[in-house]
């Protein structure tokens, strides 16, 4: 999941995000936005990326 989502973490102009792997295996997604609409769009995009990666893991099992 981490490897699939990491390349998508970039500065999008009005928003940026970072992804970190915690020692217990959890992922920590931090998102910042210049305004609420940029923040909302970024959160939706990154959550969609993570959901797709999760669905792909299920397909490959």
Task: Tell me: pLDDT of 17 over 70.
Answer: yes
Distance CA 12, CA 22 (A): 24
**pLDDT at res. 11:** 66
pLDDT band, very low/low/confident/very high, at 22 (cuts 50, 70, 90): very high
The reported pLDDT for the residue numbered 54 is 85
HSE-CB of 17 using CA atoms within 13 angstroms = 25
| pLDDT at residue 24 greater than cutoff 90 | yes
Residue 43: Cβ within 10 Å count: 15
Q: Which domain holds residue 49?
A: 2-60
Quick one: what percent of the chain has pLDDT higher than 70? 95
Domain count, the chain: 1
Q: Over range 44-54, report the average pLDDT.
A: 86
Residue 1 CA to residue 39 CA, distance in Å, equals 22
Return mean pLDDT, the chain.
85
């Amino acid at each position: 999941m981490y490897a699939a989502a990491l390349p998508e973490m970039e500065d999008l102009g009005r928003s940026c995000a970072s992804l970190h792997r915690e020692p217990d295996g959890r992922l920590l997604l931090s998102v910042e936005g210049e305004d609420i609409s940029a923040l909302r769009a970024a959160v939706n995009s990154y959550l969609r990326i993570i959901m797709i990666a999760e669905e792909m893991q299920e397909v490959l099992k």
